[in-house]
Structure 1
Amino acid sequence: MTERYILGIDQSTQGTKALLFDGKGKRICRTDLAHRQIVNEKGWVEHDPVEIYENTLLAVKNLLGKSGIAGDRLTAVGISNQRETALVWDRKTGEPVYNAIVWQCARGAEICRRTQEAGYGQKIREHTGLNLSPYFSAAKLAWILENVPGARERAERGGLCCGTVDSWLVYKLTGGRVFATDPSNASRTQLFNINTLAWDEEICQIFGIPMCCLAEVRDSNGEFGMTDFEGSLPYQIPIHAVLGDSHAALYGQGCLEAGLAKVTYGTGSSVMMNIGSSPILSSRVVTSVGWCMDGKARYVLEGNINYTGAVMTWLKDDLELIQSPGETETLARIANPEDRTYLVPAFTGLGAPYWDSEAKGLFYGMTRTTKKAELAKAGLESIAYQIQDVVEAMEQEAGLKLKQLRADGGATGNGYLMQFQSDLAQIPIQVSLAEELSGIGAAYTAGIAIGEYDPEKVFGNIERRQYLPDMEEGERDRRYEGWKEAVGRALSVPV
């Protein structure tokens, strides 16, 4: 019998990955294409939607060439994508009216400020599970409709599509036949009611976004149309999974039951916990739909941290303290263990669980003996401290204690960081040996949906490396208390 394959597309902030998985769920080939980061003098961050789509097509074409697998052996595709990034395009022509506004871009801050002053903040949080913030898609879409000439009028006539990257790719890959998203992505727009699992008419009116411009919401493992990637395949295959990247990573990590959690270490980091079939509202972390499969929703608590891997970039490119991120592990191991220098990387404020956009970054606790190694160690440890803050908040909000934390992302290759994370959390850290958890989650969802994969078998094949707590509890508490003191100094209203 000819072996069949599942295709995974992971469209991330930095680029697009095409991944090929065999009949057992093993990744056998990968190709990547980066896209431009368009940043202006105001710090606004954009992507070219057409470039992203063309890169998606080319990545798949390159994947087939690199793997040597014939296109007629692919049976389905799953898509994971950067979340919150928002874009608007013409419903008939498919032409973007403006560049995609990236999740990192805070140009919607004024829209959020006036919305808060109008007294809508609490209602938005109750309906959507999200604190009012320019981080999410709603304010970005509102900005486009308010600032692109003619956009609002066209939107009100139903002539525009207001969506996220997943719905853009689905639209383009199906030749404009399908404009759809899934609940994981919809729940990150700040326009979706997580209780009714539908677009919220009242919230859409608050932001001035016509509901006729929003995508149809389908199950995360539903069918999102057919595609041949504009001729790269000999016939069309179904798009049978759409998931936001962090949600896909949670699924790919096998965190399918309430109480299981993962952390993805990237430029920023996402800590996400499966909380089951009912939402839990929190003021310290946000509540989203993890996924909805076969009509059944699973909810998550999530804390997003802006500066984790980006701290390493700052140490390398701006301070010129290190030559590569990997150097921090060596420096941390040779640093004075008695040094208590902390870095609070609040370069653009602090996110979960503090939500203080006016917080300022700082080094705290330096002495005359603090040198390069100690500063590098402080930068590395700041990643673990920030994640522990979110883990602690989630445990309290959900009323349970994690038994383990599953980890993925580039920084998991840093043994010092992973051990320190385990010491802080006082639980095992299970590091996935696979690198592409978002793409894995999307591909597994698609493969299971078409009956190609047995869930128990594919999730049972996940390989992990384990780190166990090895720090005396009193020492751990002293270090964590020092971190809390440092954060207190960074907050705009000290605690």
Structure 2
Amino acid sequence: MQNTKIMEEKYILSLDIGTTTIRAFIYNSRTEIVSKAVDHVILHYPQPGYVEIDPDELWNSVVDVVNNALQGAKLTAGQITAMGISTQRSTFITWSRESGRPFHRFITWKDLRADKLVKHWNESYLWKLIKVGAYVLFMVSRSKRFKAGSVFKFSNNQTTLRLYWALLNVPELKSAVENNDAMFGTLDSWLLYKMTDKKIHMSDVSSASATGFFDPFTMQWAGWAMSLFGISPDMLPMVVDTAGDHFTSTAPAIWGQAIPIKSCIADQTASMWGSCCFEVGDVKLTMGTGTFFNINTGGSPHASVSGLYPVVGWRLGPELVFSAEGANNDTASIIKWAHNLGLFENPEDTADIAMSVPDSDGVFFIPAFSGLGPPYNDCTAASGFVGMKPSTNKAHLVRAVLEAIAFRTAQLYDCVRKETNYTFSTIRMDGGVSNNDFVAQLVADLTGLKVERPTEVEMSSLGCAHLVGLHLGIFKSKEELTSLRKIGSVFTPRAHVKKSYDITISRWEDAVKRMFGWYNDNKSSQSQNGVSDSSSNSITSQSSFKVSKKNGKAK
């Protein structure tokens, strides 16, 4: 009887590889979790600012975590109907077409090795000339594509200049490009290549669009980037739909039997599927290693002037959906850093600690270990506490850290609100930090929107299962998926709280501006020596920056 039930039930394996964890979930046809297994991504820091993943270590963890999930469900690989994959974005590797051997470790989206290149290109006369040309073309044509180009800035979390760095600094890669032996891929491409026994070299549209050199307006690899940075078209993966049969199946030798792969998607757009953000104007907020605020913009990319990034949400045959994204690169990584610093013993206690004091005692925290995103877009900004005094205790510092996370999230929402004409009422929140009631409630208060938190906060994995199940007909429609949503908590905005924070936020914004340009070259001697700026009553040092990179396992 039990075997008959197993044969009749449909099981979907969802493999989610973030910056800090690898998760394998097995769902049934009612999106209930049958089994799950988790492992940690091992991050390597060979030099200050370098954040790498060893491909062999990652592959072994992927194999093990899937095996553990199968064992937990008491299933074999042959009993899995199909699988989907979601991955962190912009983390990339290059390898030999002939031998399959990597030329270097994965260079992650948190890596800062190309920082000088980023600054150089953003300030270069050539790039400024290109942007002026794009603006002129926009004024003539009113094309959104040229409007976006006129304000485009390179950043460290894009792949473009990190790949350019590798092309300049890895001799074997340079030689392989010349001999047409080089292959490039973000994490999804490399996984598909490994899982299918070197049969396919693909990337779905959502992962490709997050690299910085895939043009969402033309849906092709950007010719200007390939020309400027010597990126050979031959080394790039084929860009394909987010779900379909083109991903083929895993090699039988890996897990004992072949598992059909039916979807591959970037983690942030996977979480949009997990949160059922199917309608134009739907908003989801993922608070993981970083904070990612995504709005469904429908069938056309959003051209931003404040730094929101237009990415492809998904493409399913004729259905092409875009997303406007604002990001703060440091969220859970800040919680991890504060924990390592000894501000608290258990991250789960931070909400209660923050609420144990009425305010932060005038202390402000600037969350900029990886610079500041929209609306500031300053990769040279520094992190620090501002306004500490003899009465300051750990609870005040913890509250200041959590408030800063909420403040930056509210700023992302303001960018979205000012640049779009949508009417918002609800934010669908997910990610590990969303479990913090203090942060979730403060986000609701400051945005004036209802915040919904699901019972299971790992939406990327669920989004993969949704895509696979819809493609296979296990789920009949998006409406059916929406009906299966399980909301755990709802946080209602409190107008009086928002009003009470008006002065606090204004002072915090002033503190943020004091940290602008901290790591500019003309301040390098100051930052290298860990000199604090006494005029701003701050504690900011290069040493604390290194602590975050060493201990703050960074997505």
TM-score w.r.t. the length of structure 1 is 0.94
Letter in 1 for 2:70: L
Cα distance, 1:366 vs. partner?
Answer: 4.2
Task: Report the CA distance shift for 1:120/1:338 in structure 2 as closer, same or farther (over 3 A).
Answer: closer
Shift of 1:338: 7.7
Residue from 15, 20, 31 that aligns with 2:26 = 20
Residue 46 of structure 2 corresponds to 40
1:296 aligns with 2:302: no
Write out aligned runs for 1:214-293 (5 A).
214-231=236-253, 233=255, 235-284=257-306, 285-293=308-316
1:355 corresponds in structure 2 to 377
Which of 471, 481, 492 matches 1:449?
A: 471
Secondary structure at 1:357 match in 2 = coil
Question: 2 CA distance for matches of 1:263 and 1:69?
Answer: 34
Alpha-carbon offset, residue 299 of structure 1: 1.1
CA gap 1:443/1:13 in 2 versus in 1, 3 angstroms: same
1:156–1:396 Cα change, 3 Å: farther
- 1:227 counterpart SS class: coil
Cα shift at 1:129:
8.9
Please state how far the C-alpha of 1:444 moved relative to its aligned partner. 1.2
Q: 1:480 aligns with which of 505, 523, 537?
A: 505
Change (3 A) 1:106 1:55: same
Q: Does 1:326 align with 2:348?
A: yes
CA RMSD of aligned residues (A): 2.1
Q: Distance in 1 between matches of 2:154 and 2:33?
A: 39
Matched residue of 1:42: which SS? Answer: coil
Contact map agreement 1:288 1:299 (CA 8 A) in 2: yes
Q: 1:126 and 1:208 mapped to 2: Cα distance?
A: 23
Q: Quote the Cα distance in structure 2 between the aligned partners of 1:279 and 1:165.
A: 24
**C-alpha contact 1:161 1:213 (8 A) present in aligned 2:** yes
Q: Which residue of 2 aligns with 1:77?
A: 83
Which of 86, 94, 101 is the equivalent residue of 1:88?
A: 94
Separation of aligned partners in 1, 2:59 and 2:182 = 18
Matching residue within 5, 10, 17 for 1:4 = 10
Q: Does 1:120 align with 2:143?
A: no
Count of residue pairs the alignment pairs up: 492
> Which residue matches 2:70?
64
Deviation string, structure 1 residues 294-327 (Cα, Å, up to 9, x no partner): 2322111111112222222222212x12112122
1:35-65: CA deviation from partner (whole Å, max 9, x where unpaired): 3211023231110122222222222122111
Match of residue 196 from structure 1: 218
Q: Which moved more, 1:421-430 or 1:329-338?
A: 329-338
Unpaired runs of at least 5, structure 2: 1-6, 135-145, 519-555
- 2: CA distance, partners of 1:305 / 1:79: 24
Measure, in 2, the Cα distance between the counterparts of 1:336 and 1:114.
Answer: 45
Distance 1:128 1:36, change over 3 A: farther
Q: Where do 5+ consecutive residues of structure 1 fail to align?
A: none
Query: Aligned AA for 1:486?
Result: A
1:302 to 1:478, Cα distance in 2 relative to 1, 3 A: same
Contact 1:128–1:187 at 8 Å: present in 2 too? no
Deviation at 1:179, TM superposition (A): 0.4
The aligned counterpart of 1:468 is 492
SS of aligned partner of 1:119:
helix
Deviation at 1:112, TM superposition (A): 2.6
Which stretch of structure 1 is more off in the superposition, 219-228 or 272-281?
219-228
Match of 2:410 in 1: 388
- Alpha-carbon offset, residue 371 of structure 1: 2.2
Contact 2:383 2:515 (C-alpha < 8 Å) held by counterparts? yes
Instruction: Report the secondary structure of 2:304's partner residue.
Output: coil
- Contact 2:250–2:261 at 8 Å: present in 1 too? no
The sequence identity of aligned pairs, in percent, is 28
Output aligned runs, 1:358-369, within 5 Å.
358-369=380-391
User: 1-side partners of 2:469 and 2:455: how far apart?
Assistant: 21
Question: Shift in Å at residue 165 of structure 1?
Answer: 0.3
Residues 288, 15 of structure 1: alpha-carbon distance in 2 compared, 3 angstrom cutoff: same
One-letter identity of the residue aligned with 2:328: I
**1:231 alignment partner, SS class:** helix
The answer to whether the Cα contact below 8 Å between 1:170 and 1:224 also exists between their aligned partners in 2 is no
Give the aligned partner of residue 110 of structure 1.
116
- Go from structure 1 to structure 2 and tell me whether the alpha carbon gap of 1:49 and 1:444 turns closer, same or farther (over 3 Å shift): same
Q: In the TM superposition, what whole-angstrom CA distance separates every residue of 1:1-35 from its partner, at most 9, and x where no partner exists?
A: 61121111101112321110101222211112223
Which one is further off, 462-471 or 355-364? 355-364
